[in-house]
Structures are given as structure tokens and as C-alpha cells.
Chains A and B, each alone.
Chain A
């Protein structure tokens, strides 16, 4: 196992509320990623980080923000959750030979 955890694993929330998902790694890797997985779309990149306080947008970043104040933690925030953000969210880390390793995922339901 790559030493990557996500919390919470499941969450139900209401439209308009803020939600924060946490990704934690024990591998000390520089690169971390947030993806969402939806039927018919595969995985799509939301945001990524290439170091502490260094982040950038991915393909589907609207409505999401991220923060990385420590190497081991990468937070994804839905500023005001909408039903279209109901999805499974995966965090990943990348090692020095380019391989990404994924966390177990967070299932988010926005009612």
C-alpha cells in the first residue's frame, strides 16, 4: 500500500453547504492530486499540488478549492456544494518514477 488515506470515506450533505475532504500521505511525495470519478467520464482532474502552498487547477476545477499547508495533507473544499458535485473523489500521490497511487476514495452525496 502506498500510505495514502482519505477522510471521510462517505458523506451526505445538503446543497449550499461547504464540504472539506482530506487526503493524507505518509510517503513524503511532492505531488498530490484530486480526481472525481463519474459514470461515463472516467477520472477527471480537479486540482493538483506540486509542493507546500503550490497548487494549480485541473480540468474540472470550478466550484472547488484546495490547500496544502503541509507535505502530508491535501485538502479539497467544495465551497457551496451542488448536486452536480455528487461523485466519488479520489486523491493520488506521485512517486519519483512518475507512478500515481490512489487512495480508497470518498463517496459524496449532495442532496
Chain B
């Protein structure tokens, strides 16, 4: 079945370090891909998205490129800040059969950034 696998956390980095959170997917068809972020005690917020192969989503210094050949959508940021501490979720959305565009999530990766 369709699924999303993202790297296990927690991930702890120092401020200004480079961030990569790996995400790979398995899907029948051509999904749209998303990264959501959840700050403590809050709901999920859309961080970025990409709807077709080679698209790059970007927002707030974060980037991810839709790689069809490696079925990946890795999240990167060149210089993290303490305020980036949160849980990050990779997700896919498909429209075929009965899927109705439902999101399938990875299990989340907790990021802690130390000053």
C-alpha cells in the first residue's frame, strides 16, 4: 500500500547547523508531497508542498525537491534557529480509486535546536 517513511528522531542540532530530514514514499500513481510542522501544543501547519516530479517547494528557508527517481522528498534548511524546534511530518496525497486525496503521513521527526 501507499506509505511514507521518514527518518527517526529525535534530531538535535546546534543553532546555524545544516538540517536534513529524509523522507521516502511508496505510492501507486503520482502523489503530491507535503511537509507539515507542528510546534508544541499546536496543530499542524503546512510548511511546503510539491505536486509533480522535480518541483521544489520552499518556505521560511526550508526546501524540498520532489525526486521521482528516488521516490524522495527530503527536507533541508541551511541554517536552523532555535525557533525551528518542532515536529516535522512528511505526507503524500493521492487521487485515484477511493483515495479521495487523503493524506498519508510519516511518523514525524522531532527537531530540537540548541543555542
Contact = CB atoms under 8 A, between A and B. Distances in A.
B100 A42 contact: no
Contact of A94 (B43, B49, B101): B101
B105 interface: yes
B45 interface: yes
A42 B108 contact: yes
Interface residues of B, number: 21
Interface stretch (A65-73, A78-86, A99-107): A99-107
A79 B20 CA distance: 42
Contacts of A42: 89, 105-108
Contact of A56 (B42, B49, B51, B98): B98
B44 interface: yes
A100 B103 contact: yes
Contacts of B98: 56
B46 interface: yes
A40 B97 CA distance: 28
A66 B93 CA distance: 22
Contacts of A41: 107
Contact of A43 (B32, B42, B51, B89): B89
B106 A99 contact: no
Interface string B52-95: 00000000000000000000000000000000000001000100
Contacts of B34: 99-100
A104 B101 contact: no
A102 B102 contact: no
Nearest to A57: B98
Interface of A: 31, 33, 40-45, 48, 50, 56, 58, 90, 92, 94, 98-105
